[in-house]
Structure 1
Amino acid sequence: MNDTTLPQENRSTASASDRSDIIETDLPGRLDRLPWGRFHTLIVFALGITWLLDGLEVTLAGAVASALKSSPALHFNNTDVGIAGSAYIAGAVVGALGFGWLTDRLGRRKLFFITLFLYVAATAATAFSWDLASFVLFRFLTGAGIGGEYTAINSTIQEFTPARLRGWTDLAINGTFWIGAGIGAAGSLVLLDPGLMPPDWGWRGCFLIGAALGLTILFMRMWVPESPRWLITHNRVDEAKQIVEDIEAQFRKHGVEIPNTPIKPLRLKMREHTPLSEVAHTLFHVHRSRSLVGLMLMTAQAFFYNAIFFTYALVLTDFYHVPGDHIGWYVLPFAAGNFLGPVLLGKLFDVLGRRRMIAFTYAISGVLLTISGWMFMHGMLSVTTQTIAWMVIFFFASAAASSAYLTVSETFPLEIRALAIAVFYAFGTALGGIIGPALFGQLIDTHQRGAVFVGYLIGSALMIAAAVVAGIWGVAAERKSLEDVARPLSSADEG
């Protein structure tokens, strides 16, 4: 690749080469050298809130489990609760694949509006479910909206965040899942209180919280621009240049100096889209070791999280006899541990490196779950100590799970980034997330602590195996430009 930097700040950002289908651009480098500013903070709030919505949805599904079982309209059993959880995950899988493909073809911005509309409509419809079939259908559609959000949102945030801050930013954003969990838990304490609201109304009100939040987010996203990185690979260079110049102008307007760091220009061949055959070749041949890492990380964390978190309320009610309307009190400290993990450990992923921290957080999560599961099986934990154990485990597991999304969104080429996120999210979630809640629902239905411990051992083994794979084949992507981590498929340079 040509290492010559652009000598003048006002030099044309993208100029045609001798071949009309090749451009030379410094736009990615200009985005990477920006200091953190108000623009990045607004991006995080407008787009990163997707994780908050998912946390809200997953928490509500767990918190209302008891209410769904006692609802005059639904009369769910534990297996029905597990099936509903699996339906949400199945929808997320389908949504991620379908919307991920569209995100790479149609652009990031269009899709994060479409997927948000779907989420709002489906979660509102869930509040009006009348039987198991309708509840499962609406949960499936809600999941499809969230799965589509992940692909469009994660790719956009990655492409706007400066390289040196990408790891911590991504993990901290993913940690907001647990702010949503806290909101869901707090809301459930009020709405599921039989003294304040009829039993069949409370759980419906819980799901309406998500729809209301989704509508407010819609207005926050109006000002978010299309990703310049996506635009330059789709022959829309002038639009990309204007967006970057507008961002830089905002910094200068507020008196923030932009570093005059030398930039390595990119030479790219123009293309309208990337054929699926090239996507498959890139994922499973050119970058097959990265694909193995991504699949293992996503599968392990999906089983670990979805199996436990979709059914934690059943463990509390069936084994510790916690009243259903008190579940939220135990979710709040659990959510706090999960939020603090990515926020406090996130910087180490940029300082100590991806491979070291990913392997550590996955391994320690598996070991701690094995220990606490053994103690649970032998009746050594009270409801308080069980909650403390989950807080400690998921302090590390939350950072681990967040790093899985970071890995699959930064280690594959620009042209297929959203679809790569979708593929590994979908396959990992299908293998780990759909099976997990249904399996744990059945294990809990046995009312045998030993059976539940077997489920914990499966989750632990997956996390430790993922740690080994990441330690051997993980990519050292810290503080590197996305284009250096994964060479664009449209690169016009050899090598």
Structure 2
Amino acid sequence: MGVETGRITTDIPARLDRLPWARWHWLVVIGLGTVWILDGLEVTIVGSMSDALKDPTTGLGMSSSQIGQAGAIYVAGACVGALFWGHLTDRFGRKKLFLITLGVYMVATVLTAFSMAPWWYFGARFLTGFGIGGEYAAINSAIDELIPASYRGRVDVAINGSYWVGAAGGALLTIPLLDPTVIDAEWGWRLAFGLGAILAVGILLVRRNVPESPRWLFIHGRDEEAEKIVHGIEWTVSEETGEQLPDVDETITIRQRRAIPFTTIARTVFTLYPKRTVLCFSLFVGQAFLYNAFFFTYGDTLSTFLGVDQTGWYIAVFALSNFVGALALGPLFDRVGRVRMITFTYVFSGVLLGVTGFLLGSVSAVSLTILGAVIFFFASAGASAAYLTSSEVFPMETRALCIAFFYAIGTAAGGISGPLLFGWLIDRASASGDITGIAPGYFLGAGLMVAAGVVEAFLGVKAEGRSLESIAQPLTAEDANDSEDAGEPTPR
């Protein structure tokens, strides 16, 4: 399967990177990037409907600990799905997998809506996460390989930040859906999950028009198909912008292979790029614990300690600040640079979270939401950049699996333990009515974020404006063997 099938010299990467922004690129953004809206919708619906799920008559009779367990199970499914689908994405192509994983999500979220008992709900949440996890690997790799180098940072940060559009939408949707005077309490929370499947159908219709990654195609011996796709993109972009595209003279010589052995991929991550491996692991652990620990149980915190009956408005404000932060700060990741911006957003948001932990004893629902909005205005852009980093700094043949690997490992460490820890802290603190009982979780999340920012300052890669092939040379490039034996390249 790993046998060389040919050798070509191609200018496809340079041709894709020199394209001006056009409506065609919006097709890619809408068709692929909107998956984060689904993820935000899923997580927020669960966070907003904790009381509805606890009701033994109209809900499923779940406890706060079980709500936290359900969040952990969803993340566990996403971790397993990321690894499973990530390897298949690198082997069989981006397009096949981003269509299949969306289908898995649609089926699973419908099953969630029909939950009849906690065990059913847990199983459906695992499958939903299983589909979403595969989306992360397939989508991030496809987006980075289709978006021009000069726009890649801001587009990636904004797209990952669109998670919060779904979060805000989910929070607002739960207001009427969980109002028994509008919709029967037994059906409201089920309809909330069903709406996710309806949105996914619309995304699937758009996504069918997004092409396979030409970079993936020419490495896997399908250079004629890659050339045809790039020629079509160039014609479309030229027509849409009215610009004559300049010629390129930058080429790369590739040894084409049908598949890359898993041992080669593992050797690449742990032997050729050990510093980048530490960097990505640190970024993912920090942001995963911060977000999953705080946000999975944010609605429960408002209702349990601060007397909020309808958490949707608070979560919508919190979510909006996250998305605005990604949009506002995203361009700076291309202009100011990856290392400076990631370091700043991680360290600053971590320090602010630690301060919030000390203030918990005196907060109200409004002040806690304001503090959270300020913290995650900065944290959102940094967390999005973790996905950007993992998709940029490793060779193309390993891109999807590397995204999946770091997402799974980092999220397993922070995203599974976070909801479990916070669920336990809330149960324990609610017995005494003391909200400061959840402060240790805040302090831990703050410490991990600051530590990750420090790692970025020392090990970060200056990837802004550079082609993916110059950041990490493809394994199948003609002189790849020489570079593999030379140790980790020095970031420029």
**Both structures adopt the same fold (TM-score exceeding 0.5):** yes
Q: How far apart, CA to CA, are the structure 2 residues paired with 1:20 and 1:67?
A: 57
Residue equivalent to 1:412: 394
Q: TM-score, normalised by structure 2?
A: 0.95
> Cα gap change, 1:436/1:487 in structure 2, threshold over 3 Å: closer, same or farther?
same
Residue equivalent to 1:167: 153
Q: How far apart, CA to CA, are the structure 1 residues paired with 2:161 and 2:300?
A: 24
From 335, 339, 355, the equivalent of 1:351 is 335
From 102, 127, 130, the equivalent of 2:116 is 130
Residue equivalent to 2:446: 460
3-state SS of the aligned residue for 1:172?
helix
Alignment of 1:63-82 (within 5 A): 63-72=48-57, 73-82=59-68
Q: How far apart, CA to CA, are the structure 1 residues paired with 2:240 and 2:301?
A: 52
Q: Unaligned regions of 5+ residues in structure 2, if any?
A: 484-492
Residue equivalent to 2:425: 443
Q: Unaligned regions of 5+ residues in structure 1, if any?
A: 1-18
Q: How far apart, CA to CA, are the structure 2 residues paired with 1:254 and 1:358?
A: 34
The structural deviation recorded for 1:128 is 0.6
From 185, 192, 202, the equivalent of 1:216 is 202
Residue equivalent to 2:246: 260
Residue equivalent to 2:276: 290
Alignment of 1:369-388 (within 5 A): 369-376=353-360, 379-388=361-370
Q: How far apart, CA to CA, are the structure 2 residues paired with 1:445 and 1:284?
A: 40
Letter in 2 for 1:67: A
**CA deviations over 1:398-432 (Å, ceiling 9, x no partner):** 01110100000111000010000000000001111
The structural deviation recorded for 1:282 is 0.4
Q: How far apart, CA to CA, are the structure 2 residues paired with 1:423 and 1:41?
A: 28
Residue equivalent to 1:426: 408
The structural deviation recorded for 1:21 is 2.0
Residue equivalent to 1:41: 26
Residue equivalent to 1:9: none
Q: How far apart, CA to CA, are the structure 2 residues paired with 1:315 and 1:186?
A: 18
From 26, 33, 44, the equivalent of 1:59 is 44
From 90, 96, 115, the equivalent of 1:110 is 96
1:29 paired to 2:14: yes
The structural deviation recorded for 1:382 is 1.5
The structural deviation recorded for 1:256 is 2.5
Residue equivalent to 1:89: 75
3-state SS of the aligned residue for 2:254?
strand
3-state SS of the aligned residue for 2:331?
helix
The structural deviation recorded for 1:258 is 4.3
Work out whether residues 71 and 199 of structure 1, in 8 Å CA contact, stay in contact via their aligned partners in 2.
Answer: no
Letter in 1 for 2:373: M
The structural deviation recorded for 1:223 is 1.0
Work out whether residues 362 and 397 of structure 1, in 8 Å CA contact, stay in contact via their aligned partners in 2.
Answer: yes
Output the aligned Cα RMSD.
Answer: 1.2
Work out whether residues 35 and 258 of structure 1, in 8 Å CA contact, stay in contact via their aligned partners in 2.
Answer: no
Higher mean C-alpha deviation, range 69-78 or range 364-373? 69-78
Residue equivalent to 1:322: 308
Work out whether residues 105 and 131 of structure 2, in 8 Å CA contact, stay in contact via their aligned partners in 1.
Answer: yes
The structural deviation recorded for 1:166 is 0.5
Residue equivalent to 2:193: 207
From 323, 336, 350, the equivalent of 1:339 is 323
The structural deviation recorded for 1:216 is 1.1
1:476 paired to 2:458: no
Q: How far apart, CA to CA, are the structure 2 residues paired with 1:255 and 1:456?
A: 48
Work out whether residues 54 and 177 of structure 1, in 8 Å CA contact, stay in contact via their aligned partners in 2.
Answer: yes
From 239, 242, 255, the equivalent of 2:228 is 242
Work out whether residues 5 and 255 of structure 2, in 8 Å CA contact, stay in contact via their aligned partners in 1.
Answer: no
3-state SS of the aligned residue for 2:9?
strand
Letter in 2 for 1:22: R
Q: TM-score, normalised by structure 1?
A: 0.94
Work out whether residues 71 and 200 of structure 1, in 8 Å CA contact, stay in contact via their aligned partners in 2.
Answer: no
Alignment of 1:272-311 (within 5 A): 272-311=258-297
Q: How far apart, CA to CA, are the structure 2 residues paired with 1:192 and 1:258?
A: 54
The structural deviation recorded for 1:71 is 4.3
The structural deviation recorded for 1:254 is 3.0
**CA deviations over 1:278-335 (Å, ceiling 9, x no partner):** 1111001100100100011011100100111110011101110101xx1101011101
- What count of residue pairs does the alignment treat as equivalent? 473
3-state SS of the aligned residue for 1:270?
strand
3-state SS of the aligned residue for 2:8?
strand
From 477, 482, 487, the equivalent of 1:491 is 477
The structural deviation recorded for 1:194 is 1.3
Q: How far apart, CA to CA, are the structure 1 residues paired with 2:349 and 2:460?
A: 18
Q: How far apart, CA to CA, are the structure 2 residues paired with 1:327 and 1:258?
A: 52
3-state SS of the aligned residue for 1:441?
helix
**CA deviations over 1:188-243 (Å, ceiling 9, x no partner):** 00100011122221111110110110111111111111000000110000000000
The structural deviation recorded for 1:186 is 1.2
Higher mean C-alpha deviation, range 118-127 or range 67-76? 67-76
Residue equivalent to 1:16: none
Alignment of 1:129-208 (within 5 A): 129-208=115-194
Q: How far apart, CA to CA, are the structure 2 residues paired with 1:313 and 1:87?
A: 18
**CA deviations over 1:106-162 (Å, ceiling 9, x no partner):** 100000110000000000110010111100000000000000011000000000010
The structural deviation recorded for 1:182 is 1.2
1:392 paired to 2:378: no
Q: How far apart, CA to CA, are the structure 1 residues paired with 2:137 and 2:247?
A: 31
Q: Percent identity?
A: 50
Higher mean C-alpha deviation, range 257-266 or range 475-484? 257-266
Work out whether residues 82 and 133 of structure 2, in 8 Å CA contact, stay in contact via their aligned partners in 1.
Answer: yes
Residue equivalent to 2:487: none
Q: How far apart, CA to CA, are the structure 2 residues paired with 1:220 and 1:28?
A: 25
Q: How far apart, CA to CA, are the structure 1 residues paired with 2:327 and 2:244?
A: 26
Work out whether residues 5 and 221 of structure 2, in 8 Å CA contact, stay in contact via their aligned partners in 1.
Answer: no
